[in-house]
């Protein structure tokens, strides 16, 4: 089965269950025109994140890795009135484009984009007593995923959900001898999850318009 088939199924799912939305489509168009890499989650994945956050009843969400704000919009829509999203982005251009997209979506009063390396800005969030967050979505540089999850544990509560994207890496996750730093980061993340008693986790493989990958879903237990 080919990527063409996966893509066709994703397009069918979008047509039947997601539809067209001006804010989301404008975010993708503006991101592309601004030269951002097309590594955002797919529409089906965005809707999945939206549903997860809604099921969890999230009122505060932390995102590590904003890119153009596509997943940010999906997640913010899942929160009730008064909910707040904090999204951390290393690249200034990405943060600026995301801010444009957030404003176009009418969500500027509910989303704060913080520019800077997440490992530098996360301690500030903790010191400012912005935690706990109900839901954390991690979609940033893969080498630092173990560190991001460690920080997420400090900034959540029992029952919070932590999602980490792009952990299967086209199947290379299973390659014990890989010298790819992204694969090494993914495997280090799984080592952490295996030995962290405060997290109950699984991983799901995905195929679709974004190819073959997968994500971790973890629940904070204590």
Domain CATH for 128: 3.40.50.150
CA–CA–CA angle 222, 195, 140 (5° rounding): 85
List, for residues 175-221, the tens digit of each pLDDT value. Answer: 998 999 999 999 999 999 999 999 999 999 999 999 999 999 999 99
Question: Tell me, what's the pLDDT at 208?
Answer: 95
Question: Tell me, what's the pLDDT at 103?
Answer: 98
Return the structure tokens found at 108: 């500027």
Residue with token string 């935690």: 131
List, for residues 109-163, the tens digit of each pLDDT value. Answer: 999 999 999 999 999 999 898 889 999 999 999 999 999 999 999 999 999 999 9
**pTM, to two decimals:** 0.96
Return the structure tokens found at 104: 């176009």
Q: What is the Cα–Cα distance from 27 to 218, expressed in whole angstroms?
A: 28
**pLDDT bracket for residue 69 (50, 70, 90):** very high
- For residue 74, the enclosing domain spans 3-220
Q: What is the Cα–Cα distance from 99 to 118, expressed in whole angstroms?
A: 17
Question: Tell me, what's the pLDDT at 177?
Answer: 87
User: How crowded is the C-beta side of 13, counted as CA atoms within 13 Å?
Assistant: 16
Q: How many domains does the chain have?
A: 1
State yes or no: pLDDT of 1 exceeds 90: no
- The mean pLDDT of the chain is 96
List, for residues 12-52, the tens digit of each pLDDT value. Answer: 999 999 999 999 999 999 999 999 999 999 999 999 999 99
List, for residues 70-104, the tens digit of each pLDDT value. Answer: 999 999 999 999 999 999 999 999 999 999 999 99
């Amino acid at each position: 089965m080919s990527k063409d088939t996966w893509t066709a199924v994703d397009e069918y799912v979008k047509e039947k269950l997601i539809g067209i939305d001006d804010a989301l489509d404008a975010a993708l168009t503006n991101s592309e025109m601004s030269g951002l890499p097309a590594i955002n989650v797919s529409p089906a994945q965005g809707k999945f994140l939206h549903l997860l956050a809604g099921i969890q009843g999230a009122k505060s969400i932390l995102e590590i890795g904003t890119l153009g704000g596509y997943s940010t919009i999906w997640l913010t829509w899942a929160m009730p009135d008064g909910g707040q999203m904090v999204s951390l982005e290393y690249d200034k251009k990405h943060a600026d484009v995301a801010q444009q997209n957030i404003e176009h979506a009418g969500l500027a009063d509910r989303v704060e984009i913080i520019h800077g390396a997440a490992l530098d800005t996360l301690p500030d969030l903790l010191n400012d007593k912005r935690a706990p967050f109900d839901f954390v979505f991690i979609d940033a540089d893969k080498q630092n995923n173990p560190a991001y999850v460690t920080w997420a544990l400090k900034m959540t509560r029992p029952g919070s959900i932590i999602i980490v994207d792009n952990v299967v890496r086209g199947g290379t996750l299973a390659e014990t001898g890989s010298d790819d730093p992204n694969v090494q980061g993914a495997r280090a993340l799984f080592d952490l999850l295996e030995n962290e008693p405060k997290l109950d986790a699984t991983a799901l493989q995905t195929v679709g318009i974004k190819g073959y990958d997968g994500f971790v879903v973890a629940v904070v237990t204590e």
